[in-house]
Amino acid sequence: MTESAALLQAKEVGVRIGSKPIVADAALTLRAGELVVLVGPNGAGKTTLLRALAGLALASGDIIVQGTPLHHLAPRARAKIIAYLPQGHVFHWPMEVSAVVGLGRQPYADAFSALSPEDRIAVARAMAATTTEPFVGRAVTSLSGGEQARVALARALATEAPILLADEPTASLDPRHQLMVMDILRATAHRGTGVLAILHDLVLASRYADRVLVMQHGRIVADDSPDAALSLDRLASVFGVEAVVADTGSECVPFICRPLPHA
C-alpha cells in the first residue's frame, strides 16, 4: 500500500461472463475524500467493474479494501465498508420512506431489523443530506423519479460506509436533480468518504470529479484529472464524438458537437 488513505485498491482486475472478458486488467485506487467518476461508452464494462469492486461479481486479480482482500471479508463486514447504489431505483413494496432509508442500516441490524439509536441518527443524517425529510411517512412508490433517486441515495448514505459506489446515480433525472445528486456526492466525499460514480454526462464528470477514469472495451484507458482524461482527442477515440471546449466563464467543460462518421 502506497498511501494510508487508499480505501480501495484494484490491480489486474478481470471479469469474464462465460468465456467473454468484460473487464480486463483494470487498476484503480480510491482514496478517502475523493470523488472519482468512471465514464465510458455503453458496453465498456463500467457496471461490471463497479459490481466486481462491490463484491457482486466474481473477479480475478486483487481488490484490496482498507488493507484486506475483498474476498476475505464476510458479507456483512463488506456491507459496512462498501455502500453500493445500483443503477435505477427498485422499490418492490410501497414501504415508507424512512423505513426504506433505514434499510441502509441492515449491515448493523439484528435479526428483527430493529433500529438502534445510532441507526436512527444515521438515517436522520442521510435524509438531511439528501433533503428527503419532507417525504417521511410517505410511501416511496408515490414519489417522483427524482425524489425516489434521492431516497435511494439516502439509503446508500445511511450505511455511512467509508466507500460509496454509485452506478449512474443521475440517470433519467432532470437537470436540477442531476445537480442535486452530484452536490450530495461531492458533499459526501468532503466528509471523508471515497466516492466512485459511473456517469454518462461528461459535463457533470468534468465539473464535479476530482479524477476521471475512462473505460473502453473493458480496459481503463485513462486515469487523470478531468481536463486531461476528457481531452478532445480522447473523446474522439473513445466515444467517437467531435467536441469543443466550452468556456462558461467560470469553468471549461467539453461540449459534444456531433458523432464522428466512423468510430
Partner 1 sequence: MIGTRRISSLVAALAVLVLLLMLVSLMAGPAPLSPRAVLSALVSGDGVSGLIVRDIRLPRALLAALIGATFGLSGAALQGLLRNPLAEPALFGAPQAAAAGAAFVIAFGLSSATSFAVPVAGIAGSFVATGALLAIAGRRTSLTVTLLAGLAIASFAGACVALILNLAPNPYIALEIAFWLLGSLQDRSMDHVIIAAPFMMASWIVLAAQARAFRALTLGEETAISLGINMRRVRLAVIAGTAMGVGAAVAVVGAIGFVGLVAPHLVRRATGYDPARILLPSALAGAALLLAADIGVRLVPGPVEIKLGVVTALIGVPFFLAIIFSERRMMLETPA
In the complex, the residues that contact partner 1 under the rule CB under 8 A are 51, 54-56, 74-80, 82-84, 86, 90-96, 98-100, 102-104, 106-107, 109-114, 137, 139, 141-142, 152, 155, 159
Q: How far is the CB of 84 from partner 1 (least distance, A)?
A: 4
Closest to partner 1 by CB, 63 or 214: 63
Going by C-alpha positions, the residue among 210, 252, 245, 216 that lies closest to residue 39 is 216
Beta strands 219-224 and 211-216: pairing type?
A: antiparallel
Closest to partner 1 by CB, 64 or 95: 95
Q: How far is the CB of 41 from partner 1 (least distance, A)?
A: 23
Q: How far is the CB of 147 from partner 1 (least distance, A)?
A: 13
Between the alpha carbon of residue 110 and those of residues 82, 101, 106, 114, 225, the distances in Å are 19, 16, 8, 7, 43
Separation between Cα atoms, residue 263 and residue 259, nearest integer Å: 8
Beta strands 20-31 and 252-259: pairing type?
A: unpaired
Q: How far is the CB of 90 from partner 1 (least distance, A)?
A: 4
Closest to partner 1 by CB, 21 or 107: 107
Going by C-alpha positions, the residue among 128, 127, 106 that lies closest to residue 115 is 106
Closest to partner 1 by CB, 198 or 212: 198
Residue at grid coordinates 439528501: 130
Q: What is the layout of strands, in order, in the sheet containing 6-17?
A: 20-31, 6-17, 60-65, 68-69
Closest to partner 1 by CB, 79 or 196: 79
Closest to partner 1 by CB, 117 or 249: 117
Closest to partner 1 by CB, 95 or 236: 95
Q: How far is the CB of 63 from partner 1 (least distance, A)?
A: 14
**Residue ranges in 38-96 assigned as alpha helix (H):** 46-53, 75-81
Going by C-alpha positions, the residue among 131, 148, 127, 130 that lies closest to residue 139 is 148
Going by C-alpha positions, the residue among 157, 19, 134 that lies closest to residue 82 is 157
Q: How far is the CB of 21 from partner 1 (least distance, A)?
A: 20
Q: How far is the CB of 235 from partner 1 (least distance, A)?
A: 31
Separation between Cα atoms, residue 156 and residue 104, nearest integer Å: 6
Q: Supply the Cα-derived Rg of the chain in whole angstroms.
A: 19
